[in-house]
Amino acid sequence: MNSEAIVKETRAYHCLECGVCTSSCPVARVNPSFSPRLLVEKAIFGFGDEIVRDRDLWSCLVCGRCTSRCPSNVDYLNFIKEMRIEASKLGQKGLFSHDGIFNTIMELQSLSLQQKRTFWITDDLEVADEGECFYFVGCLPYFDLVFGEGGYCDVGLKPTDRARNTVRILNKMGIKPVVSNDERCCGHDLLWNGDLEGFRRLAELNLKTIKKSGAKKVICLCPEGYVTLKRDYPLYLGEQDLEVVQLYRLLADKLKEGKLNFVESGSDNPVKVTFHDPCSLGRIAEIYEEPREILSGIPGIELVEMERNRADALCCGTSGWVNCSSCSKQIQIERLKEAEATGADILLTACPKCGIHLSCAKYNSDIKIEIKDITDLIVEKMV
């Protein structure tokens, strides 16, 4: 696809040059040289070859604020994705963070290999090899080895706790999910970093694994995994006979049905929490209220909102493990300070990557607010 076709497909010709995209962009606020509007303008005027060689192409966080606010409905997210695919064909790539370890892991998973990715399953968890519901774990096992104790970038996290939490919650509601050692990365980052063929290979492997298990429903904790399986798999591989469900939407429904119950609080003083809306869960998937409904159903918890929340929420500062820079850290610290300003005791996240990025920024700062995943709180308070 050439730049002219990308401009047409993404409605870039409708750009009014109003600058709403750039004024809304968290990257542009800390890096004045970056402008979504100028990238679109270059494409409109036929400078696609310049864009695919521009480092700024990889600075976009694909957070969706520009697209959600554009008065002309320009699909800026798809514009960036397609331009990165074109750039990748020419050998152009972003600057991978963590020495490119995650990009390498994703590329390896797209090949034929034997994994040991279910090491996190403990004896108290009920999982199956075949069944109706498939729990798509995603990259959590690999995150554990990098960000966990003694890992390459130890920031005091254990991402697979989120996987164990998810299974415990599902078990409590009577669901014994399929968990497979043959599952791969969903391919989100490869797709958004321009590696369309690598994404296709991962998607095909995952669909083969899911169908082999007999599952008709796929449950995703990770918002990026949810969006990728629900939207991108059908887009690039055709419609699938699968129901893809986001965990917090499922839990909100179970709460209403009385199948998710919490212990009563033993204190008159509620614990104040604030909630960070992940870009993929919020602006991309439009799941805003379900996490809040769950929190409102937990006794002894008081939710205090940050100034920017829901569709206006600030991104966690990096995407796809590329171009993590001082600009990313500024965005992350800004978000952490916004959370502290609420007076909350805990900042809750609903995305494993958001938890990692915000914890990493906090690790090297004087920020004191505790960071937790919502599943941590649910498991603590579940009957």
Q: How many residues does the chain have?
A: 383
Last residue of a domain, one of 218, 252, 286: 252
pTM over 0.85: yes
- Residue 1: pLDDT above 70? no
Report pLDDT for 154: 77
Q: Which two tokens stand for residue 172?
A: 């409590």
In the 8-state DSSP scheme, what is residue 148?
S
Rounded CA-CA distance 263/275 in Å is: 21
Radius of gyration of the chain (CA): 21
Are 245 and 107 contained in the same domain? yes
> Are 231 and 306 members of one domain?
no
Average pLDDT value for residue range 354-361: 95
Q: Which of 209, 228, 252 is the last residue of a domain?
A: 252
Among 90, 14, 98, 28, smallest CA distance to 56 is for: 28
Higher pLDDT among residues 149 and 333, named by residue = 333
What is the CA 125 to chain-centroid distance, rounded?
25
Residue 227 and residue 277 in one domain: no
Domain that holds residue 63: 3-89
CATH number at residue 375: 3.40.50.1860
Does 131 share its domain with 64? no
- Structure token digits, residue 21: 């995209």
Question: Is the pLDDT score of 199 beyond 90?
Answer: yes
Number of domains in the chain: 3
**pLDDT, tens digit (0-9, with 9 covering 90-100), for 17-47:** 999 999 999 999 999 899 999 999 999 999 9
Rounded CA gap, 11 and 110, in Å? Answer: 33
- Indicate whether 240 and 114 sit together in one domain: yes
pLDDT in tens, 202-216: 999 999 999 999 999
Mean pLDDT of 79-84: 97
354 and 276 share one domain: yes
pLDDT at 379: 97
**Which of the listed residues 89, 113, 148 is the one where a domain comes to its end?**
89
| 126 — pLDDT class (breaks 50, 70, 90) | very high
Q: Does 107 share its domain with 201?
A: yes
Does residue 156 sit in the same domain as residue 58? no
